[in-house]
Structure 1
Amino acid sequence: MGFAQAFPATYISIYPLFIRTSQRKLSVCTAKLNGDNDPLLLAATASASLRYQETLRPEPLFLDPYAACFVPHNTPKDVIQDVHPYCLATKFIDDKLLGTVSLTDGLKQLVLLTDGMDTRPYRLNWPTSTIIFDISPESVFKIAAENLKGVRAKMPRGCIFYHIPLESSDIEQAMQFKGYNGSRPSIWALQGFPVMTLANFEEVLSMISSLAMKGSLFVGELPACLAEADIEIKSNIRQWVDKLFLSKGFRVEMINYERVTESCGRDFASGNYNNILFVAEQLLHSDDQMELWRREFQRVENEGDEEGFEEL
């Protein structure tokens, strides 16, 4: 029995409504479901199963030694022949994050917008002093944290990890309380994060635009459902993506899954997987940068007033 039978495709595509209820607050609005009926948990588990299947390959795109602790014990171990596009995206995002953090001087802040079962903080070799923030649903994260504790997952030496619940009343404040600094470089990633509507994603972009220093990168997968609802968007997807990101201050590049496949020397099964893989650069100054410059301008102006008074 293959993955499709073990975890129906509807499990992957079920995402609760993601809304902004107040300044900097991003929350999940969904029916109260218990245990195995939680759509957030089902979606996160399905993605973890894909990573588990990929890890079992003789020559995997990546290794996720912790994915197994998230999936049911009866999960099939027969390797699927074609690479799933989700795994291609995971490989691309892994390489982009790790390469950028390792090669960019002063870049110590990594922000992951996830489904709660992202194992990147543990399975990738982050440089010493990297600070990782995970923004994800609290219910899923708690389950994942317990499972990771059971297999003794550890962060790379000298790195720090903070979880920011998606349900926080003020995500920006919560991050700053943990030490996030918008006047320092950062890199952001989105994969599996519960986004359901275009308005929801625009809220995410606005939040990142406020928090990320100019020049920071944002990499990830844009859910296909955001574009598929509009026929006009589908006819010119690249133009739509450019306009969407630019409206929030980002210059974006769409990444072709086939291009990633060629670089890995693999075939993949596209099927109905139409997510948009992207890399975007922040063109605007963060709120913290603007506040620093406002204070500096005020200081210079005050010093000028004092000098003029002394001359009189």
Structure 2
Amino acid sequence: MVGTAHRDTGIGEGVARTALMIAAARAIETHRPDALARDGYAEHFVLAARDAAGWPVRPEQVPDGDANPLWGRLARYFGLRTRVLDDHLLRSARTGIRQVVLLGAGLDSRAFRLDWPPGCVVYEIDTLGVLRFKQRVLDGLCAVPKAVRVPIGADLGTDWAGALTGAGFDPGVPTAWLAEGLLLYLPAAAERRLVDTVDGLSADGSTLMYEIKLGLESPESRDSPLYASAKEQIGVDLLTLFDEEPRPDSAADLVGRGWSASVRSPFDFTRRLGRGPLPEPRDALAGNHWVFADRPGR
């Protein structure tokens, strides 16, 4: 890779800014000797953004190391999530799926860093501001994707399905869908619409993975040092981004539509892989769960 692009004017506020937080976490994970996932592009996104000036991108830059609630424990969580979702997408591709859709792609670099089988197409849907920032950094690095990459600037609250099919997406073939850290921020009605749209666009043999919070944040978890640390260190109040409506049971909805679905705790994968966060008192991660759904082939 060549040098990092000049500092950008900014990626945006609110949920869009969390993409930089996740990129910083992936960068820190990348430089750990026991890294669960490696993303050589992540630190370049952080270093290019004015909004992230001074954020750590290596473990030795983190004050208090793993004891830091934000850049220690939460960053470990994002490293674990990245690894699990990387594995999930590559397993889907090995079953013959060649069409991948990243919903709310943010600063995801999977099109560039994963070893996709020949013929894979990766569609990345996010706002134009996020995608333009991302493209400027990637262009500065002369980055070359390992699959056909199709960025689509669209608001997931609007007719993103039309933009997706207009960009060449074929609803008649199996698709691997990924909504990483997206549904946490959507109102309940928007979550239902998204699941309905994905179902309508999914051929038999498709897969879907997404992250949810089961129930609303308890008063104890709202007092987690993780939330206070994020607000203090990077000016992101995560609690204000979570929708406060009761959450729909999208996994049950999918099962009712003929999908199979399993709901897993991230801590299951910490124990399986031997690294990552474990439960603790006043845990902001206690409600986080990952849903893996499959639409059986005929």
Secondary structure of the corresponding residue to residue 195 of structure 2: helix
The yes-or-no answer on 1:264 pairing with 2:252 is no
CA distance in 2, matches of 1:166, 1:187: 19
The structure-2 alpha-carbon separation of the partners of 1:175 and 1:242, relative to structure 1 and needing over 3 Å to count, comes to closer
SS of corresponding position for 1:206: helix
What is the TM-score with the length of structure 2 in the denominator? 0.72
1:277 is aligned to: 290
Contact 2:98 2:174 in 1 (8 A): yes
The one of 56, 59, 65 aligned to 2:40: 65
- The correspondence of residues 177-192 of structure 1 with structure 2, limited to 5 A, is 177-192=166-181
Amino acid aligned to 2:150: Y
Contact 1:70 1:144 in 2 (8 A): yes
**SS of corresponding position for 1:228:** coil
Runs of 5+ in structure 1 lacking a partner? 1-33, 232-236, 286-312
Alignment partners' CA distance in 2, 1:99 and 1:166: 27
Does the aligned pair in 2 maintain the 1:205–1:248 contact within 8 Å? no
Larger-Rg structure:
1
Asked if the contact 1:261/1:267 (under 8 Å) is kept, the reply is: yes
Is residue 74 from structure 1 mapped to residue 54 from structure 2 by the alignment?
yes
- Change in CA separation of 1:283 and 1:53 when aligned onto 2, cut-off 3 Å: same
Provide the residue aligned with 1:23 in structure 2: none
Amino acid at match of 1:198: A
Residue 106 of structure 2: SS of its match in structure 1? coil
Residue 87 of structure 1: CA displacement?
Answer: 2.1
Contact 2:266 2:288 in 1 (8 A): no
Q: In the TM superposition, what is the alpha-carbon distance from 1:98 to its structure 2 partner?
A: 0.9
Give me the whole-angstrom Cα distance separating, in 2, the residues matched to 1:162 and 1:183.
Answer: 18
Number of residue pairs matched by the alignment? 240
**3-state secondary structure, aligned to 2:32:** coil
- Give the Å deviation of 1:86: 2.4
Partner of residue 162 from structure 1, selected from 150, 174, 186: 150
Q: Distance in 2 between matches of 1:35 and 1:91?
A: 28
Structure 2: 5+ residue stretches without partners: 1-8, 47-51, 67-71, 220-245
Task: Please state how far the C-alpha of 1:91 moved relative to its aligned partner.
Answer: 1.0
Task: Spell out, residue by residue over 1:208-260, the C-alpha distance to the aligned partner (whole angstroms, 9 max, x if none).
Answer: 001010231101212x2x731799xxxxx9x9454243355432101221221
Which residue of 76, 85, 99 corresponds with 2:77? Answer: 85
Shift of 1:90: 1.5
Equivalents in 2 of 1:113, 1:36: separation in Å?
A: 18
Q: For the structure 1 residues 185 and 242, does the alpha-carbon distance in structure 2 shift closer, same or farther, using more than 3 Å as the test?
A: closer
Q: What residue is the counterpart of 2:95 in the other structure?
A: 104
The residue that corresponds to 2:132 in the other structure is 142
TM-score in terms of structure 1 length:
0.69
Residue type of the partner of 2:40? P
Deviation at 1:155, TM superposition (A): 0.6
Asked whether the 8 Å contact 2:251–2:291 carries over to 1, the reply is no
Distance 1:138-1:247 versus aligned 2 partners, 3 A rule: farther
1:54 aligns with 29
Counterpart among 153, 161, 164 of residue 175 in structure 1: 164
* Secondary structure of the structure 2 residue equivalent to 1:221: strand
* Alpha-carbon contact 2:77-2:276 (below 8 Å) kept: no
* Whole-angstrom CA distance in 2 between matches of 1:193 and 1:139: 17
Q: Which amino acid in structure 2 is aligned with residue 170 of structure 1?
A: D
Q: Aligned residues: percent identity?
A: 24
Q: Equivalent residue for 2:110?
A: 120
CA distance 1:181–1:39, change in 2 (3 Å):
same
> Is residue 2:186 matched to residue 1:206?
no
Cα deviation code 1:149-199 (max 9, x no counterpart) = 11222111xx21111222386322322222211111111011133632221
Q: Is the alpha carbon distance of 1:255 and 1:201 closer, same or farther for their aligned partners in structure 2, counting shifts above 3 Å?
A: same
| Cα distance, 1:174–1:91 mapped onto 2, change above 3 Å | same
